[in-house]
Structure formats: C-alpha cells, structure tokens
Amino acid sequence: MEESKHIIAVDWGTSNFRAFLFTKQLELTGQIQSDRGIRSLDPSAQAQYLQKQLEVWLREFPDTPVYACGMLGSNLGYLPAPYLKLPLDIEQMYQHIQNHSKLGVSVIPGLSYESPSIDFDVIRGEETLVLGCIEQFSQDWICLPGTHSKWVKVDKNKRITSFSTIMTGEVFDIVHQHSILCEGPQEECIESFREGVQDANDDQHLLHAMFKARTRSLKDPTKKSKARSYLSGLIIGRELYHSTQKGEMITLCCSENLAKSYAEALTIVGCQSQWMDSTQALLKGILMLHKQIQGSKI
C-alpha cells in the first residue's frame, strides 16, 4: 500500500483543540481550532468528537496517520499514555508512542522529571515542540512561554536532561484581570514593559514588587493605562532572571507576538534569543517522529 502523502497532527490541550493537516514537506493544507479542550468533554465523548473533527480530511485522504500530543494522553483523556522519565534520548522517543491502530491514533507520551525544587514536574505536548526546535536549532535551553512556561534543557547528545514549569502566564492573567493593579482601559507601552523587566532584578519579593503597578499610577496618573505592560515586564523579567545566566542563547518557541516580548526582556537581562514558531515546531516534531517510526519498520 502506498504511504499517505499527508500527516494529521492533533494538539489537544486542557482548554483548546487544534488539528493540522500537512504534507511531508511541511506544507500546511488544513487547520481546525476550537475551544473544546479535553476538560470540556467526558472521556466517553472524546473519541466521537475527534472523529467528527477529522472526518472530512480522512475521507479525502484515507490512511493518513494521526498523531496526538497534549492532554489526550493524560488522566483526563480517553487514550492515556504514561510519562517518560528523564533523562531521555530524543532519538528514542518514537519507541514509546502509544499506537492505537484500531482507533487510528498514535498518542505521544509526556515527560516527567524529579525536580530538585518541586519534587515532581511534568510536560504534556511541549515535548513534541522541543523535538521540532532541536531539529532546527541545537541550543542548550529551549523556552516555551505560555500559560505555564516550560524551560527545557537539552545536552550536546540530544538528551532532554531537565525542565521546569513557571506559571508566568496564568499568574499574570489572574493578577491583571482580578486585582486592583490594572484598573481601567489599558494600552501597550514598551517603556513600561522595560521598566518592569528592569525592576524584576531587584531583591524585593515579587508579591511586594507587583504593588508598584498600582502605586506608580497614583504618583503619576498618566501611567494608569500602562500598568498592564509594567506588570507583564515585571513577571516575565522575574521568570528570566530566575531561569537564565547572562550571555546565554535561548531558543524561544511560541507565537510571534509572545516571542517579541520575551526577546525584548531577554536583551535587557543580558541574553540572546532565537525564535521558532510553535506551530512549525509542532509539525516538525511530529514529522520527525513519523520518519523514525517508518525507518524502524525497514
């Protein structure tokens, strides 16, 4: 049987569902996105939902392989896949994919790490993006900003040796939407963002330092609409000062807008950065796994 010319990648998170139809030349030919995250569906309804989302593609391109990463393999999903322990050779990751041939889905497992700071840390979905980044770049540190930012360490032998989770995005959303720090209409202000990053290098406790987002506007009312930018810089800056050393090259894997903010902040803390779009990283990572699986069958 002739091998399909297409691959389907499913990234099913807690809050969102994304699927991509692409060729083996990384040409994106179809995309689906919805807010039906894993948490919104009972496990008994997930298989039907997935089938419904992909049915048009699979009707047009039968036998197209489907690879899924993210929360489908978690204890919230209907196709659980165990965590792989670090250190992990990325060249061997394909061997641990859960192939559900009757259902037509291959589930990529997450990673776990015995963290020296929080005891046990996990990744679901980002491991696939890391593969795509390593395929293009060979830097030590990969940062995946988001609701829960992930900092992943890759050694010279292409082994994932450690990672850490920093709740930057979620903390920022909670504080700026549900506190008094960002009252009234807000506007983007790069100067306020930079000020926040610079203030993040202070030894003050973050919970104390955040209050400046309010007091700076009490002292100067023109800064009230720029509190959100200041707070963003402060929280991102604290993440970077905690996670980097001056002079390091950091690979950013995220959307372009988020990459601009992190690149600006990294420059202020004395680091360099390079960027890879997270969707491209996802497709590259899944293509890499697919090629390894096909190669193992020869």
Q: Where are the domains of the chain?
A: 1-80, 114-298
- Each residue of 225-248: b (16+ CB within 10 Å) or e? bbbbbbbbbbbbbbbbbebbeeeb
Average pLDDT for runs of 10 along the chain of length 298: 86 96 97 96 94 96 95 93 94 92 90 97 96 86 96 94 97 95 95 97 90 95 97 98 95 97 98 97 97 80
Report the candidate in 133, 142, 180 with the shortest Cα–Cα distance to residue 161.
Answer: 142
Residue 209's CB is within 10 A of a number of other CB atoms, namely 19
Instruction: Write the Ramachandran bin of 21: left for phi over 0, alpha for psi from -120 to 50, otherwise beta.
Output: beta
CATH of domain 1-80: 3.30.420.300
Residue type, 146: G
State the Cα–Cα distance between residues 104 and 98, nearest whole angstrom. Answer: 11
Structure tokens at 15: 């809050």
CATH of domain 114-298: 3.30.420.310
Report the candidate in 97, 94, 119 with the shortest Cα–Cα distance to residue 108.
Answer: 97
Same fold? 1-80, 114-298: yes
pTM of the model: 0.93
Query: Is omega for the bond preceding 43 within 30 degrees of 0, making it cis?
Result: no
State the Cα–Cα distance between residues 31 and 19, nearest whole angstrom. Answer: 6
Task: Write out the E strands in the chain.
Answer: 6-12, 17-23, 28-34, 66-70, 84-85, 88-89, 98-100, 105-107, 111-113, 121-123, 141-144, 149-154, 159-166, 249-254, 272-277
Query: What pLDDT was estimated at residue 297?
Result: 65
